[in-house]
Amino acid sequence: MDFRYTEEEEAFRKEVQDFINEVLPPGWLGVDPGPEEESREDVYELALKTWKKLGEKNWIGLTWPKAYGGQEAPLWKEMILLEELAYRGVPGMDLAIAQADLILAFGTEEQKQRFIPPITRGEVKWAIGMSEPNAGSDTFAVQLRAVEQDDCFVLNGQKIWSSGAHHAKYQVVYARTDPENKHMGLSVFIVDLESPGITMRQIEQITGIPAFCEVFFDNVKVPKENLIGEKNGGWQVLLHAFGAERTYGLFINYNAKRYLEQLVQFCKETYVNGQPLGKNPLIRNRLGQAAIEIEVGCNLGHQLNWLAVQGQPTVKASSQIKVHGAAVAQRLANLGMQILGLYGPLNEDSKWVKLGGRFRHEYLSSVAFSMAGGTSETSRNHIAGRAGLGLPRK
């Protein structure tokens, strides 16, 4: 088995690394993958700039058809790009990517022409409207109602935990069009978030960042041409979307790789009683263990990428890395807080803060990694079931 990349792949990786070095401010310690930290003003500015520059490089939607602004590039290129962005903690790669994938798979020609090119240019941001107060892991429990009228659907109800919706122009909304049929009664809509009848309220996360939105729909008229796929055919779109969400685990793992390197550097440079922290046997042991776990995550990632490139099923591999990546990030954040001791909980603006306060943030934010994009319990269920061990559901 040969895990090495080809010369062409390495050359592209180098191009991406050069781009990242250009775009990031000096001393950048990185942010978590996903739009959550973009609700900090400085991060938002950088995210917008990066999103636009990625568009100028033609790196948004690398694999998409040229007719809609894509490059028809092989999948490995996109994977290298996303890995490097996550590893360096670059903000900006928007949720729009996964929503465009849905439109490409299920949308009409008119939708593709209208919605995809502005995404490839890095001009618009999108949000996801799946979760509701009573529909989380069981997304098929969605209650937000869409009633068909002559020229439109009228939406009433509520979404919750919509990451970055306050910055987004559009939201992909999963709505109930048939109350009698749980699984075959959902439809999916592209909703302009400036439509009359929409109100939003930001929710502060445990990190102190107001990254989520509750989005309320009060008689919101959505044109019929914004329906993605068939009416009551939302289950197909939903299953497709689930697959894409679980690659989040891969990005969490690369994010953790950067944090481990920062922690190792700290232990080399920080002296206690005349000795570098890195000489402490317990710290060496714990850092060594973290390195093993991250390496395992990278290899799970290689496996996932390989399966995707071969066009083989990825449910098991993406579930594995989702569970593993979240657990690794949480353990590493815990370790960082223990090593930093009393410096650990300091805010980033404290004059005594170490490592930019990133471990304080990570300690709090990584709790969400085992929930976002599908919880660890539901991912384990996938591995136990048809995609993996073949255990019966009940």
User: How crowded is residue 384: how many other Cβ atoms within 10 Å of its Cβ?
Assistant: 15
8 burial via Cβ count (<10 Å: 0-12, 13-18, 19+) = exposed
CB neighbour list of residue 187: distance below 8 Å, 6 or more residues apart: 146, 153, 174, 175, 176, 177, 227, 229, 230, 231, 232, 233, 234
Q: Does 155 bind ligand FAD (CB under 6 A)?
A: no
How does 347-361 read in b/e, with b if 16+ C-beta sit within 10 Å?
eeeeeebbbebbbbb
Task: Decide: 116 and 55 in contact? Cβ < 8 Å.
Answer: no
Q: Does 48 bind ligand FAD (CB under 6 A)?
A: no
Q: Does 209 bind ligand FAD (CB under 6 A)?
A: no
Q: Does 143 bind ligand FAD (CB under 6 A)?
A: no
Q: Of 22-30, 77-85, 160-168, 302-310, which segment contacts ligand FAD by CB under 6 A?
A: 160-168
The secondary structure of 318-356, three-state, reads HHHHHHHHHHHHHHHHHHHHHHHHHHCCCCCCCCCCCHH
Tokens coding 61: 């939607």
Q: Does 31 bind ligand FAD (CB under 6 A)?
A: no
Indicate which single residue of 33, 107, 122, 129 sits in contact with ligand FAD (rule: CB under 6 A). 129
Task: Decide: 152 and 223 in contact? Cβ < 8 Å.
Answer: yes
Q: Supply the minimum distance, in Å, between the C-beta of residue 269 and ligand FAD.
A: 32
Residue of minimal Cβ distance to ligand FAD: 136
Binding mask 351-390 for ligand FAD (x = CB under 6 A): -----------------x--xx--x-xx--x---------
Q: CB-wise, 57 or 380, nearer to ligand FAD? A: 380
Q: Supply the minimum distance, in Å, between the C-beta of residue 201 and ligand FAD.
A: 15
Q: Supply the minimum distance, in Å, between the C-beta of residue 130 and ligand FAD.
A: 3
The Cα 156–Cα 134 span in angstroms is: 15
Task: Decide: 327 and 320 in contact? Cβ < 8 Å.
Answer: no
Q: Does 238 bind ligand FAD (CB under 6 A)?
A: no
Binding mask 316-355 for ligand FAD (x = CB under 6 A): ----------------------------------------
Q: Tell me, by CB under 6 A, how many residues bind ligand FAD.
A: 17
Q: Supply the minimum distance, in Å, between the C-beta of residue 165 and ligand FAD.
A: 7
The Cα 243–Cα 235 span in angstroms is: 13
46: amino acid identity, one letter: L
Indicate which single residue of 12, 31, 33, 36 sits in contact with ligand FAD (rule: CB under 6 A). 36
Q: CB-wise, 162 or 320, nearer to ligand FAD? A: 162
Chain residues that interact with ligand FAD, rule: CB under 6 A: 36, 128-131, 136-137, 161-163, 368, 371-372, 375, 377-378, 381
